[in-house]
A and B are shown apart, each in its own frame.
Chain A
Amino acid sequence: MNSTRSLRLPPQVGQPSNTSAMMGDVLVALLPTTAMAVFFFGFRVLVLAAVSIGSCLLFEFLYRRLTGQSDTLRDLSACVTGLLLALSLPATAAYWVPILGAAFAILVVKQFYGGLGKNFMNPALAGRMLLATFPVLMTNWSRPLDRLPLLGVDAVSAATPLSYLHAGTLPPQTPGQLFLGQQGGCMGEVSAVMLLLGGLYLILRRVISWRIPTAYLGTVALLALLLPPEGVGSMAWMTAQLLSGGLLLGAFFFATDPTTSPVTPRGQLMFGAGCGALTMLLRSFSSYPEGVGWAILTMNCCVWLLDRAGMPRRFGAGRFSVLREWLSRLRRNLAEIRFIKPNLHFTLIKGGKMPGEEHLDQIRAQAKALSSLGAVILATGLVIFGVHRFTDLDTARAETEAQQELLSQVMPQAAFSSEIPYRAVGALSIQAGYSEDNELVGYCVEVQAHGFGGVVTMEVGVDLDGRVTGVAVTDHKETSGVGTEAMTPAALRRYVGKSGTIRSSGANSVDAVSGATATSQAITAGVNRALAIVANLDLEGGDVSYVDGEV
């Protein structure tokens, strides 16, 4: 090695030549980011990183030892996995969190497939995203410069810039603050300048290729520039998208993992572009505010495909010769498939045309097969019909009871309700509630809003003064135990008596339930919509009054 290097003309730049040197370079590149994280979040960062690296090394050592394989601690890949895993966690994470992530990353994602270089998914990122599916763990973001104690964290949770971007508005931080890292978020992702520094170092040392980060960041920048939300300048939107969240960390350190990214140059460009497009799709439309990790994991599964699609052309071959050859082969292949005009003759009996023994036997066999099929279908149909008839009344009764219960929950002062002949945009149904002595008390509006896992359907009762009398969630797809925290009777009771437009903070507000922000926002949006519908209903005038006499 040294002899070949000395033959070259100076100046000579040393280039990493083996795995441990490459991994060492990645560790060096992560140093400024780690230092910045310590500055922003305190020494807890160092302890978390040490726990994470230590558990990665321990799991790797134990697995290799117990399965009788060679020791691989010296290639430093477990250190890199551990440090990356720690840096992609929030600083408020408990100490068992990186241990769980490390166990998943090292054992399941990496070693089950044979260790370094044989896994198909980035271990650190897979560990991080597994932890992200525990929603409460990953929603507690501390403010920067809010140095955390080593034990017993009780940090003030702050909104990250991404939650603003997710809602389609610019974050309150200036671009300079975002660039230096004065924003909430994971430990390693806050400081854009330090990440750029580390990334440039890796590119200059040729540990990673420039293609993936450039294609990734370029796609994100282009999409942000072309499709800003209404009322936001495209340049400001692009800057905010590029500088906030885990984008730079992902683009420089996660997407460029040599094992789980394509090796062909064109494949690398396509990989980066795919990551960028998926990131923007997820950031705009998904339930999670951040999409970098999911995008890279999804693209990791397609690496083999991109490598084949980006295969460089053989030397001397024409520009599209491979494609042309493939097309002609495909055409030859498909040409074998020919449509043959069928020779149709609609006869059930293939034997003689004349009625005879053979004929009757054939008919009998066919009739037997068909009649047994028909009998089974008929019997099933009859059974279904009978069961339906039997349970129909019970279903109807249960439905009425459920509706009555819903009414007592939504509008306690009403005795019964009836549908009104009035439709409003956004309302699934509007019912008028009446008191014991037939007086109109208010309206129950069924509305929908988009929550975390899908549509949340709710019934909102509004009295004639435009105040909420009660809210009930009738159908939802939220995560049990997390999103449903925002649907407990206590949480829903906070809306009673509110009127006008309910906000999420300030005057006339209902706070979001911690850990169930998306669901809380959905319920608030639904209540607001119902209030608006009833307010406009009253403006329309007395065309509802005639229902009063009917009932």
Chain B
Amino acid sequence: MGILDLAGVALAALLSENFILVNCMGIGTRVRSFRDPVDALRTGYCLTVVMVLGALCSWLADFLVFTRFSWQYYRLLFLALLIPGLVAGLRKFIRVCVPELSRRMDGNLAAVSTNCAALGSALLVAQRSYSLPAALLFSFLGGIGATVALASFASLREEVNFDSCPRCFRGTPILLITAGLMALALVGFYGLHVG
């Protein structure tokens, strides 16, 4: 796999398959992250770490076990156990070893365990049979893309007044419309193909 292919995978993860805005895998992200930029950044960092670790584990399991014995039908069960287990292990480790970090990020990390993007990236990596560098790059840049999308969405709330729309649109509807407008901007990146 050449540099160009890797760049294509990277750009796809960052833009044309943005986990939050395009692939609709923002489900399970906690509501506060859409409001508070700091919380959005923390969730984004946790998500990125979990996604990279998840992709690594998923790739290893797929390469060493599942494809070798053609047990692909166990993949979903394994991933559904892997991601919460990974998050639980990380939380335990951080609580014991880096208590200050745990004080700041524990809530975000706990919320990531049911995040769609973390599960989805591990599954996509296995389904598309990426090579190891491509898998790591895909999950890392996917996490970065999700972080940027979350943070820019959260900071839009400080810039834009969401209360001047008709009353029936106030609250969640106008937020969904805003997310839709941001996703409209990314439609142009659909089918981005490098090389």
Interface residues of chain A, those whose CB is within 8 Å of chain B, are 67, 108-109, 111-115, 118-121, 126, 129-130, 133, 281-282, 285-288, 291, 293-295, 297-298, 300-302, 304-305, 336-342, 377, 380-381, 384-385, 388, 450-454, 477
| Residue of B11, B73, B99, B193 most packed against chain A (CB within 10 A) | B193
Shortest Cβ distance from residue A345 to the other chain B in the assembled complex, whole angstroms: 12
Which B residues touch A305, using CB under 8 A? Answer: 152, 155
Assess the A118–B160 pair: CB atoms within 8 A. Answer: yes
B79 to chain A, nearest CB (A): 13
> Which one of B39-47, B59-67, B139-147, B162-170 is at the A interface?
B162-170
- B27, CB-defined interface residue at 8 Å: no
- Using known A-B contacts A67-B166, A114-B164, A388-B73, determine if residue A301 contacts B152 with beta carbons closer than 8 Å: yes
Is B98 close to A, CB under 8 A? yes
Contact with A along B146-158 (1 / 0, CB 8 A): 0000001001101
In the complex with contacts A339-B98, A342-B96, A130-B190 CB distance below 8 A = no
B38 to chain A, nearest CB (A): 12
* Complex Cα–Cα for A130 and B188 (A): 11
Instruction: Chain A residues near B99: list those with CB within 8 A.
Output: 340
B186 adjacent to chain A (CB < 8 Å): yes
Residue of B nearest to A344 (CB): B96
Set of chain A residues within 8 Å of B186, measured between Cβ atoms: 294, 298
CB distance from A259 to the nearest CB of B (A): 11
Partner of B155, one of A286, A291, A304, A341: A304
B130 at the interface (CB under 8 A from A): no
Q: Which residues of B contact A (CB under 8 A)?
A: 11, 73-74, 77, 81, 96-101, 152, 155-156, 158-162, 164-166, 169, 174, 177-178, 181-182, 184-194
Task: Name the A residues within 8 Å of B73 (CB-CB).
Answer: 384-385, 388
- Please give me the residue from chain B that is nearest to A120 by CB atom: B160
A309 to chain B, nearest CB (A): 12
How distant is the Cα of A338 from the Cα of B193 in the complex, in angstroms?
Answer: 43
Determine chain B's interface SS by DSSP, over half rule.
helix
A130 near B184 (CB under 8 angstroms)?
yes
Q: How far is the CA of A5 from the CA of B151 in the complex (A)?
A: 45
CA distance A129 to B188 in the complex (A): 9
Closest to A298 in B: B185
Q: With A340-B98, A453-B190 as given contacts, are A294 and B156 in contact (CB-CB < 8 Å)?
A: no
On whether the beta carbons of A285 and B165 are closer than 8 Å, the reply is no
The answer, among B101, B159, B162, for a CB contact under 8 Å with A337, is B101
- Given A286-B192, A288-B188, the answer on whether A301 and B161 have CB atoms closer than 8 Å is no
Q: Which one of B164, B188, B190 lies within 8 Å of A113 (CB-CB)? A: B164
Contact B156 A304 (CB under 8 A): yes
Instruction: Give Cα A287–Cα B189 distance, bound, in whole angstroms.
Output: 8
Chain A residues with Cβ below 8 Å from B164 are 112-115, 118
Tell whether, in the assembled complex, residue B77 and residue A337 are in contact, meaning their CB atoms are under 8 Å apart: no
* Chain B residues positioned under 8 Å from A450 (CB to CB): 193
Q: Top 9 closest A-B pairs, CB basis? A: A294-B188, A114-B164, A297-B185, A287-B191, A112-B165, A298-B185, A337-B100, A342-B96, A453-B191
**Nearest CB of chain A from residue B115's CB, rounded to whole Å:** 22
B100 contact set on A, CB distance < 8 A = 336-338
Alpha-carbon gap, A166 to B177, bound state (A): 32
**Interface contact A113-B165, CB-CB below 8 Å:** yes
Chain A's closest residue to B191 (CB) is A287
> Which of B101, B185, B192 gathers the greatest number of chain A CB atoms within 10 Å?
B185
CA distance A331 to B191 in the complex (A): 41
- Minimum CB–CB distance from B177 to chain A (whole Å) comes to 6
B36 CB to closest chain A CB (Å) equals: 15
Say whether A294 contacts B187, CB under 8 Å.
yes
CA distance A358 to B98 in the complex (A): 32
Contact partners of B165 in chain A: CB under 8 A: 111-114
A-B CB contact pairs (8 Å), 7 listed: A114-B164, A129-B188, A130-B184, A133-B184, A133-B187, A298-B185, A301-B152
Complex CA distance for A380 and B190, rounded to whole angstroms? 37
Q: Whole-angstrom distance between the alpha carbons of A428 and B54 in the complex?
A: 29
Task: Please tell me if the beta carbons of A282 and B194 are within 8 angstroms of each other in the complex.
Answer: no
Enumerate chain B residues within 8 angstroms of A121, measured Cβ to Cβ: 181, 185
Q: Which residues of B contact A301 (CB under 8 A)?
A: 152, 156, 182, 185
Taking the nearest CB of chain B, how far is it from the CB of A34, in angstroms?
A: 26
| A297, B194: Cα distance in complex, Å | 22
On whether the beta carbons of B96 and A384 are closer than 8 Å, the reply is no
Question: Quick one: which of B159, B165, B189 has the most chain A CB within 10 A?
Answer: B189
Known: A298-B186, A301-B152, A337-B98. A286 touches B191 (CB 8 A): yes
Contact assessment for B159 and A304 in the assembled complex, using a CB-CB cutoff below 8 Å:
yes
Q: How far is the CB of B87 from chain A (nearest CB, A)?
A: 16
Complexed CA–CA distance, A342 and B99 (Å): 11
Query: Are A297 and B98 in contact (CB-based, < 8 A)?
Result: no
In-complex Cβ contact of A129 among B155, B161, B166, B187 (8 A): B187
Quick check: B184 and A287 within 8 Å, CB to CB? no
Given contacts A108-B177, A388-B73, contact A342 B187 (CB under 8 A): no
CB distance from A160 to the nearest CB of B (A): 16
Task: Give Cα distance in the complex from A284 to B124, angstroms.
Answer: 26
Partner of A287, one of B81, B160, B190: B190
| Cα distance, A339 to B93, chains bound together (Å) | 11
Q: How far is the CA of A286 from the CA of B191 in the complex (A)?
A: 6
Q: How far is the CA of A230 from the CA of B73 in the complex (A)?
A: 46
Partner of B77, one of A113, A114, A380: A380
Cα distance, A478 to B159, chains bound together (Å): 37
**B-chain residues with CB within 8 Å of residue A451 when the two chains form the complex:** 191
Please, which residue of chain B has its CB at the minimum distance from the CB of A335?
Answer: B100
Residues of B within 8 A of A342 (CB): 96-97
**Chain A neighbourhood of B190, CB < 8 A:** 286-287, 453
CB pair B98–A282 under 8 Å, yes or no, is no
In the bound complex, what is the Cα–Cα distance between A115 and B163 (angstroms)? 12
A453 CA to B188 CA, complexed, in Å: 11
Chain B hits for A286, CB < 8 A: 188-193
The residue of chain A having its C-beta at the shortest distance from the C-beta of B81 within the complex is A377
Report the minimal beta-carbon distance from B93 to chain A, rounded to whole angstroms: 9
Question: Whole-angstrom distance from the CB of B159 to the nearest CB of chain A?
Answer: 5
Q: With contacts A286-B191, A294-B187, A339-B97 known, what are 13 further pairs, Cβ within 8 A?
A: A121-B185, A129-B184, A130-B184, A286-B193, A287-B192, A288-B188, A297-B185, A298-B186, A337-B100, A339-B98, A384-B74, A450-B193, A477-B191
